[in-house]
Every structure is written in structure tokens, then in C-alpha cells.
């Protein structure tokens, strides 16, 4: 989850502009309900973690705008004032297949600070907000990319064209002109984002009236439009393939500047299809939710006043209710649960609330705004008699036995990575590997196929503690895109040789009721086992698991320098060959 760092002084100033006091204690208690959490706080800086479903809170300024009605009961502002501007931007028809969504806005008279340090902090915050939106809404600039320019350094009107790769201009942070090909192969930003334009014969460029390049989206801006300490008027361009993501990004950057005292001015954009728009659109989006859905999910009926207060706290406006018969069929087709005679509540939410996708999202906002602690209590109306899982008995017996052997149960993440699962442990993939399409971190790129790597990671984190250490896990692995259950344990102890681990396995099998089984040597070097000091367990001809001493070469991968022994077993295989005493 992204984290934003806000100066306490700035937050106090943003709240004071509206006659409100910045109360850090109140924020710490209530902000988690809004979709944020305070990580650290000192007298100068506040670090706030933003939950993924609220990309509209990724700057100190937009967060302050959301805090005012939520914490202080101020009147919400789902729309904003906008002046009609004279700046025009025209998009050529060729952009339909290159980068079709082109939006723009102007914000004038922004108060960037009274000192050089304050102005530098503002520019840094603006750029950080831009990059966070590229990640959260733009999906790495694929769906939306943002350009912010010093309006005083460009000459409207603007023209968006598809140009050949031989076109040249001086990109940001450079002193000499480069062709588009050179930018994509040698400029740091070009190398990072060249894949977004792969396979295209022409590239998008935004020109001003003097044929100077403002931007080469989604890669880099022109150097001469760079925002500086003297910048007061800003031109924002957003391009991409997703209209909602582009519109939200445009409005959130503009709102950040509005919170700094700026005034938004519209830009007349002529799209690739000849459609003329005046952007940004300041009007909120009206959503509907049925009273039956609201009451059914919340467990109680709220009055109009309660709904209005709750929605105001979440930055929206409650517009009232009507009977379903008063709505046209078109207006309710998106709400499959509408029945005749039901009340439909209409709620206006800010256009930049990218997370409002379904009536259920409105129900969640009402619940958060009203307060979960005041929704009352209820009991289930339907019979909820459960039946046990087929493997519940063997899992219980495994836990009892392993805990009786002195092992502590842990639960590690199902997400893992190639190094832990295969490279370090010397295990091959079992069938197809289920990988994460868009991983947030290199440590979590796939769903695990083995449990022992997680136990190694735990031991590595606790290597400063005294020995012995003994842990086990009953968990799910994913092989060939299908779930299966396994258990594994790992013991760090002095003198924990093969005899010790063999004794544990024999005690485990005794507890599970296995009367006849074979312990056979493992051949080869596959897996984390120490050659000649490992074995497999076979029951009725079924290979159910392996155990042994761990190879010091594997332990060294995790900076472990103590003797380790452990095992990993397949629960389904054990269940198939062991009698169920129940």
C-alpha cells in the first residue's frame, strides 16, 4: 500500500483555511475508517498509509479535502468551481489507434510557498502525487499518464499529433535534442516505458502554437515546460486508454493545486472523432442504491437524515429518494435487485472517486460515514448448520501430534517467489506455476508450491533467538493452478541429526495410526536435503512425504548457521492410506 508523507505545518495550514483545527489525536483514531492508517508521526512529519481502494487520498492536499467533512462535519464538496477558459487543444484523428484519450486543464494563481524550501517541497509533493497516480490509476502509465507544465512557458492552442520516430525535441532533464527513437532506447524514462508504445508506427506528441513539444506521452515532458519555483499557472495534460482513470487523474492533480489556492480553468478539447468537450467536468456523478439493498446489508434502516450525514462525511451529497415506479427502466437497469415499490436513493459522489463501481460501494460508504459501531446487532435468519471438511479429522490429529512433539504452529504467506520456492531449495516446479500478473514486490510473484521455504524465512528472522526452535505449518499450496494441502516442520537444535528427525517421524506416524510403512533412502540431490541423511516415507506403496537433515548450503542461502532438520508431507496422500478412527 502506498504511503504519503505530509508536513504537519502544511496540514495545519490547509485545515486553518477553512477555520478548522488540525487534531492529530482525533485523526489517529478515526482515519483508518476513511481508508488510511497513520504509520509514524512526529512534530514535523506525518506518514500515512493509504489503502488501495482510495487513490483520491494520495496527496496531502486531497487528503485534507477528504478529512474536513469526515472528521469535522464540514459541508462536503463533491464538485468545484471552474472558470471558462479560452485555451484549446485539438487531437488529430490518427490518435484513435495511438493514444485516444486526451484531456487537459489549467490551474492559475497557485500559492506554492513563501520560501525556496517551501516551494521545493511543493514541487516534490506534486511530482510524488503524479507518480503515485501513475501507479494506482494509470497502471504503470498504461491506462493513464500525466504531464504537468509551466503554462507561462508554452503558447496555446495545443495540437496533439501522431508523428514518426525521427521527430526530435529536448526531453526533461536533458540539454540536447533527441529523436523519439533515441529517447526510447537511451533516456531513463524512455527505457522504463518504451514497452507501452511497442509495435506502433507513429508516436503521440503534444505541440504548442510555436511547434514546441510539451510532452511525449506516456514517456517524458519537454524540458522547457519544467515546473520551477516561479511557476504559478499550470497546464495539465492526461492521456491514455481508460477514460475514468484519465479523468480521475486529471481532477486529482487539479484538486491538489486548488487546495493550494489555485483556480481551475477549462480547456476546450476537440477529440480525434471531432467531439468537443470543455474539461474538466466539475459536476459529480449521480448513483442510485435501493433501500432494500442498503437495509439488507447494514442490518437496519437509516433515516434520510442519517444517510445524508453519512454521505456528507464521505465527500458526497444525498439527493433524496423516489419510488422505483418513478424511475425510467433505463435508469435502473444497472441495479438488478430493484423491485416495484422499492425506494431508490440517489447519491451524488465526486467524479474523482474512482472506487465507486457498484451500488454495494455506496452501501460501504454509508456504513463508514454512519459508523460501524452504530449499526445494531442481528442474528442469522437462515439455518447455518455446517458439515465438517473431509480432511478435518486428519488435520486435527496432525496438529495434536506435532504440538505434542514440542513444535509451534505458524502461518506464513501463500505468496512467494522463484528464489525461495525453487532456486534456494533446489526443488523443480510441480506442474504449472501460478504467477501474479502485476506483483507489488519481487518477494511476492507467485503462489507457493512448497511450505518449507516459509519456515526457512521464519527461522532466518529469528536466528538471534536461543535454540532450540521448532515450528510447523499446515497450509495450502498451489500446483497446476489447483489448491492442495500439505504440512511441514523445521527444527533448529544442537545435535539434531538424522536420528532425531527419524524419531519425530516415527512418533508422528504412530500417532496417526500408521502400523505398516517403509522409510526408504532418497536418491539424488533434489530438494534441501543433505545427501545420505534424508529419506522418504512410503505407506501402502504411496509416497507421502520426505524428511531429513538440511544441507548447510541451503541453510546458508538464508544466513542460517545452525543444524536444521525437517520434513514436508502431502496431507491428501496421508489421508488416502491412513485409517480414520472416527
Q: Which of 17, 41, 72 is the last residue in one of the domains?
A: 72
Q: Which of 72, 103, 120 is the last residue in one of the domains?
A: 72
**Domain annotation covers residue 383:** no
Mean pLDDT, contiguous 10-residue spans, the chain (582 residues): 81 87 78 78 83 91 94 93 96 96 98 94 96 94 97 97 96 93 95 94 96 96 96 98 96 97 97 96 94 89 95 96 68 57 92 93 94 80 79 91 94 93 93 90 93 94 89 95 95 88 94 90 88 93 94 92 93 88 64
Claim to verify: residue 415 and residue 351 sit in the same structural domain: no
Claim to verify: residue 517 and residue 483 sit in the same structural domain: yes
Claim to verify: residue 124 and residue 272 sit in the same structural domain: yes
Cβ–Cβ < 8 Å for 245, 141: no
Cβ–Cβ < 8 Å for 58, 125: no
Claim to verify: residue 433 and residue 550 sit in the same structural domain: yes
Claim to verify: residue 543 and residue 496 sit in the same structural domain: yes
**Domain annotation covers residue 151:** yes
**Domain annotation covers residue 379:** no
CATH of the domain at 515: 3.30.930.10
Claim to verify: residue 340 and residue 274 sit in the same structural domain: no
Residue 218: name the closest of 130, 109, 145 by CA. Answer: 145
**Domain annotation covers residue 244:** yes
Question: DSSP per residue over 138-201, as a string?
Answer: TTTTTSEEEEEEEGGGS-SSEEEEEE-TT-EE-BTT-SS-EEHHHHHHHSHHHHHHGGGGTT-S
Q: Which of 72, 92, 115 is the last residue in one of the domains?
A: 72
Claim to verify: residue 123 and residue 266 sit in the same structural domain: yes
Distance CA 97, CA 201 (A): 10
Confidence at residue 405, expressed as pLDDT on a 0 to 100 scale: 93
Q: What is the pTM of this model?
A: 0.70
**Domain annotation covers residue 381:** no
**Domain annotation covers residue 309:** yes
Residue 349: name the closest of 400, 287, 305, 410 by CA. Answer: 287
Claim to verify: residue 275 and residue 292 sit in the same structural domain: no
Q: How many domains does the chain have?
A: 4
User: Which residues span the domain enclosing 106?
Assistant: 82-279
Claim to verify: residue 345 and residue 238 sit in the same structural domain: no
Confidence at residue 329, expressed as pLDDT on a 0 to 100 scale: 46
Confidence at residue 373, expressed as pLDDT on a 0 to 100 scale: 85
CATH of the domain at 137: 3.50.40.10
CATH of the domain at 338: 3.30.56.10
CB atoms within 10 A of CB 518: 12
Cβ–Cβ < 8 Å for 132, 2: yes
**Domain annotation covers residue 571:** yes
Question: DSSP per residue over 48-70, as a string?
Answer: EEEPTT-GGGSSHHHHHHHHHHH
Claim to verify: residue 229 and residue 111 sit in the same structural domain: yes
Claim to verify: residue 274 and residue 291 sit in the same structural domain: no
**Domain annotation covers residue 20:** yes
Quote the radius of gyration of the chain (alpha carbons, Å): 30
Claim to verify: residue 233 and residue 319 sit in the same structural domain: no
Confidence at residue 582, expressed as pLDDT on a 0 to 100 scale: 62
Distance CA 214, CA 237 (A): 9
Amino acid at each position: 500500500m502506498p504511503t504519503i508523507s505530509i508536513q504537519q505545518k502544511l496540514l495545519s495550514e490547509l485545515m486553518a483555511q477553512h477555520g478548522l483545527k488540525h487534531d492529530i489525536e482525533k485523526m489517529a483514531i478515526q482515519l483508518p475508517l476513511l481508508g488510511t492508517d497513520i504509520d509514524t508521526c512526529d512534530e514535523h512529519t506525518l506518514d500515512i498509509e493509504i489503502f488501495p481502494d482510495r487513490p483520491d487520498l494520495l496527496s496531502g492536499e486531497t487528503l485534507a479535502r477528504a478529512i474536513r467533512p469526515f472528521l469535522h462535519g464540514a459541508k462536503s464538496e463533491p464538485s468545484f468551481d471552474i472558470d471558462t477558459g479560452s485555451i484549446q487543444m485539438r487531437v488529430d484523428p490518427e490518435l484513435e489507434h495511438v493514444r485516444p484519450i486526451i484531456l487537459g486543464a489549467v490551474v492559475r494563481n497557485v500559492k506554492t510557498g513563501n520560501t525556496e524550501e517551501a516551494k521545493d517541497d511543493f514541487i516534490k509533493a506534486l511530482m510524488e502525487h503524479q507518480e503515485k497516480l501513475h501507479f494506482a490509476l494509470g497502471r504503470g502509465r498504461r491506462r493513464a499518464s500525466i504531464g504537468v507544465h509551466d503554462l507561462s512557458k508554452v503558447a496555446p492552442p495545443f495540437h496533439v499529433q501522431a508523428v514518426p520516430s525521427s521527430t526530435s525535441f529536448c526531453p526533461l532533464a536533458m540539454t540536447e535534442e533527441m529523436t523519439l527513437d533515441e529517447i526510447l532506447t537511451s533516456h531513463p524514462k524512455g527505457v522504463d516505458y518504451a514497452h507501452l508504445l511497442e509495435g506502433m508506427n507513429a508516436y503521440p506528441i503534444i505541440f504548442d502554437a510555436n511547434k514546441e513539444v510539451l510532452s511525449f506521452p506516456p514517456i517524458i515532458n519537454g524540458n522547457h515546460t519544467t515546473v520551477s519555483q516561479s511557476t504559478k499557472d499550470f497546464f495539465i495534460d492526461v492521456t491514455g486508454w481508460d477514460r475514468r482513470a484519465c479523468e480521475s487523474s486529471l481532477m486529482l492533480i487539479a484538486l491538489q493545486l486548488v487546495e493550494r489556492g489555485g483556480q481551475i480553468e477549462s480547456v476546450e478539447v476537440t477529440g480525434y472523432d471531432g467531439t468537443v468537450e470543455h474539461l474538466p467536468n466539475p459536476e459529480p456523478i449521480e448513483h442510485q442504491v435501493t433501500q432494500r439493498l442498503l437495509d439488507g446489508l447494514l442490518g437496519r434502516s437509516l433515516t434520510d437524515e442519517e444517510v445524508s450525514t453519512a454521505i456528507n462525511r464521505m465527500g458526497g451529497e444525498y439527493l433524496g429518494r423516489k419510488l422505483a415506479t418513478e424511475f425510467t427502466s433505463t435508469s435502473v437497469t444497472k441495479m438488478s435487485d430493484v423491485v416495484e415499490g422499492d425506494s431508490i436513493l440517489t447519491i451524488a459522489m465526486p467524479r474523482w472517486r474512482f472506487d465507486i463501481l457498484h451500488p454495494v460501494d455506496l452501501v460501504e460508504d454509508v456504513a463508514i460515514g454512519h459508523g460501524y459501531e452504530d449499526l445494531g446487532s442481528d442474528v442469522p435468519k437462515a439455518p447455518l448448520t455446517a458439515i465438517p471438511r473431509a480432511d478435518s479429522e486428519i488435520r486435527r490429529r496432525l496438529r495434536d501430534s506435532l504440538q505434542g512433539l514440542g513444535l509451534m504452529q505458524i502461518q506464513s504467506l501463500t505468496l512467494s517467489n522463484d528464489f525461495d520456492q525453487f532456486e534456494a531449495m533446489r526443488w523443480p516446479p510441480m506442474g504449472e506455476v501460478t504467477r501474479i500478473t502485476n506483483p507489488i514486490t519481487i518477494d511476492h510473484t507467485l503462489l507457493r508450491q512448497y511450505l518449507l521455504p516459509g519456515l526457512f524465512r521464519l527461522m532466518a528472522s529469528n536466528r538471534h533467538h536461543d535454540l532450540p526452535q521448532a515450528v510447523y505449518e499446515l497450509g495450502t499450496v498451489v500446483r497446476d493452478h489447483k489448491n492442495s494441502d500439505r504440512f511441514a516442520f523445521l527444527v533448529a537444535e544442537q545435535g539434531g541429526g538424522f536420528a532425531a528427525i527419524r524419531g519425530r517421524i516415527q512418533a508422528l506416524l504412530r500417532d496417526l495410526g500408521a502400523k505398516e510403512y517403509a522409510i526408504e533412502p532418497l536418491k539424488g540431490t533434489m530438494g534441501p536435503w543433505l545427501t545420505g541423511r534424508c529419506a522418504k516415507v512410503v505407506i501402502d506403496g504411496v509416497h507421502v512425504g520426505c524428511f531429513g537433515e538440511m544441507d548447510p548450503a541451503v541453510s546458508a542461502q538464508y544466513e542460517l548457521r545452525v543444524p536444521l532438520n525437517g520434513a514436508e508431507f502431502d496431507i491428501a496422500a496421508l489421508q488416502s492410506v491412513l485409517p480414520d478412527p472416527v
